Amino acid sequence: MGEMFSVPSYDLTGKVAIVTGSTRGIGHAIAAGYAAAGASVVIVGRKRGDCERVQREFEEKGFQCIGVPADMSDVESIDRLVNTVAERSGHIDILVNNAGIGGKEAPILEITPEEWDQTHDTNLKGLYFCSKAVAARMKAQGTGGRIINMASAAGVIAPKYVSVYGAAKAAVIHLTKIMANEWARYDINVNAIAPGYITTDMTKDVMADEKNAAAVMKKIALRRFGEAGDVAGAALFLATEASSYITGALIPVDGGMTIS
């Protein structure tokens, strides 16, 4: 007889989690899920007022959190964020690289260098250097950690007119594997989530166009758009002991869009 399976706990009590882009949408849902599971959550957004608003919201619910504004396209701002959290909390256990922008949807022949840089500075460069800064802290702590990168179904399939965004997200998927490979020796698990069409501010225009929404729906096996909580569930799994033997993986949260 083999050993009995021990159901892992989803308790994050005592953990410090940085969730970038967490003042709204998917990031907000992930931060709320972590806080409800007992983590001390760092709310990160570009605007101080938005960070303070979410901090008040969470504190009213009895959650532990701090709001720290940061620009994820600016490496100096990222370093200040990580240093601030480390000084206040003493350790960092979880990083969710969720901050990102959709970028311009247009044919490749119409994309400018400025539009390329704007999207990649946040979606790829910011993720890269935030992961680097946090991984250095996790290595020094000697207690390991979890890094979760937000990719996209657009980084797996190849829809037209999203070349800049899709290229950044495809790079995120491959970068996740390299990070996982390099940092496994420090007991740092690195995984990625690839959301499909999730109902957020970034996708509301698509949902509002009935013809467009119907066309998109046909590509989704489950025949529904996702909710932010669907992604938050996967992010919670990847932050807990339930996923301790998973690293370098991509989890699609897309209702089956990438298999359709």
Tell me the sheet residues that pair with 65: 41
**Candidate list 34, 165, 186, 245, residue with the active-site label:** 165
**Domain 16-259: assigned CATH number:** 3.40.50.720
- Confidence at residue 2, expressed as pLDDT on a 0 to 100 scale: 60
Per the structure block, which two tokens stand in for 229?
A: 């909580």
> Which residue from 67, 9, 64, 74 is spatially nearest to 40, judged by alpha carbons?
64
- Confidence at residue 6, expressed as pLDDT on a 0 to 100 scale: 78
Percent of the chain with pLDDT over 70: 98
Higher pLDDT: 215 or 137? It is: 137
For 105-158, the pLDDT digits (tens) are 999 999 999 999 999 999 999 999 999 999 999 999 999 999 999 999 999 999
- Confidence at residue 256, expressed as pLDDT on a 0 to 100 scale: 95
Contacts of 216 (CB under 8 A, 6+ apart): 197, 206, 225
Buried b (16+ CB within 10 A) or exposed e, 143-168: eebbbbbbbbbbbbbeeeebbbbbbb
* Strand order from edge to edge, sheet including 188-195: 65-69, 40-45, 16-20, 94-97, 145-150, 188-195, 250-253
Count of residues making up the chain: 260
For 46-99, the pLDDT digits (tens) are 999 999 999 999 999 999 999 999 999 999 999 999 999 999 999 999 999 999
Residue 165 annotated in active site:
yes
Q: Is residue 4 scored above 90 in pLDDT?
A: no
